[in-house]
Chains A and B, each alone.
Chain A
């Protein structure tokens, strides 16, 4: 998802007998769906895992602005341009909500950004794929934000209060994103033969990268048990992926597009769609930094941080000067 393969800081799920008194009280609260708040006691591993997960989620929101920002100046109409601008602005806000949630755990935002720029933290693999044309703006909003919603709706119930509240706020705004994307697809699928072909191509190209957003298959997912016991992961990767496939097939059919791969078939026994696995070696390769866009994305983030430094410093210097003058006048 926007947070993939977050390494859980833990040596395994402890039984009640192995827990200290504090840990038992903590786990009881989680089991009773009582939110953990910033100043409550929490295990160091819970805190460390949350910082990684929320930090990665925040980085994904911010890096996720790049593939769409690429098309703001080339939107086909003024209205589409204003809509895309509003969506990309929302993503900046989502990044902010999440950095704020992470900061309540005792880490600074600047530190998280430096960790990203130094390659110590990651962002979602999906944003390392290029957006080649306007149809991709439709497919990204529809599929990428659609996949994110499935994960984030579940995370509204997460155990950490500030993270949960950030998710509630984000989910409210996210359905605008998915709908505006689907609306672009509707327009193109009902357009000329060439436009419909562009829509089909965007769906085909992004399908597997979007399935990868949910992270590796459960059988290869080593971090799940503890994160689920702590309720910082609410469903397994495969459960969320299945949900996404099931809801998306109908949306593809409404557009009148072909299914993106031949493995998608209704299964009467399971009552769900079967689908083909993505190429997981591609996923691990992108995560390692070798996707088509990794180098450019990091270059853009570093340039934004470095080129913005004089503005951050200048505004801070001005604020200090004004505060000092005010003290002197009093």
Chain B
């Protein structure tokens, strides 16, 4: 039987109330050990206040080839940005 510990992806919430952010990966036999190891590896210098761990095999991802169909359509929709609209200065802040 292959006894290599599975791979976990580690997400940490930083000090300032931001979302959890992917910081790296590590191997661990189970979730509990993954959290303990993540604490040792990724928060030794006060980098975080909360840890999520997810076994890497459970993450679904887009393929690099999907880039065109997925993201190009939004390139032509500049009106989705507030700067598209010219509002006169007299109107005040908006």
Contacts and interface: CB of A to CB of B under 8 A. Distances in A.
Interface stretch (A13-21, A252-260, A308-316): A308-316
* Majority-rule SS of A interface residues: helix
Contacts of B5: 312, 315-316
Give 8 closest A-B pairs by Cβ, nearest first: A319-B30, A319-B29, A315-B29, A100-B25, A110-B4, A316-B3, A316-B29, A40-B64
Contacts of A173: 45
Chain B interface size range = 10 to 19
A303 interface: no
Interface of A: 37, 39-41, 86, 89-90, 93, 96-97, 100, 103, 108-110, 165-166, 169, 173, 312-313, 315-316, 318-319, 322-323
A300 to B, nearest CB: 21
Contact of A37 (B7, B29, B40, B64): B64
Contacts of B63: 39
A94 to B, nearest CB: 10
Nearest to B23: A169
Interface in B10-62: 24-27, 29-30, 33, 40-41, 44-45, 61
A39 B64 contact: yes
Interface centre among A37, A97, A169, A323 (most CB of B within 10 A): A97
Interface of B: 3-5, 7, 24-27, 29-30, 33, 40-41, 44-45, 61, 63-64
A268 to B, nearest CB: 43
B41 A96 contact: yes
Given A100-B25, A109-B27, A318-B29, A39 B61 contact: yes
14 contacts: A39-B64, A93-B41, A96-B41, A103-B25, A108-B4, A109-B4, A109-B27, A110-B4, A312-B3, A312-B29, A315-B29, A318-B30, A319-B29, A319-B33
A121 B8 CA distance: 26
A322 B30 contact: yes
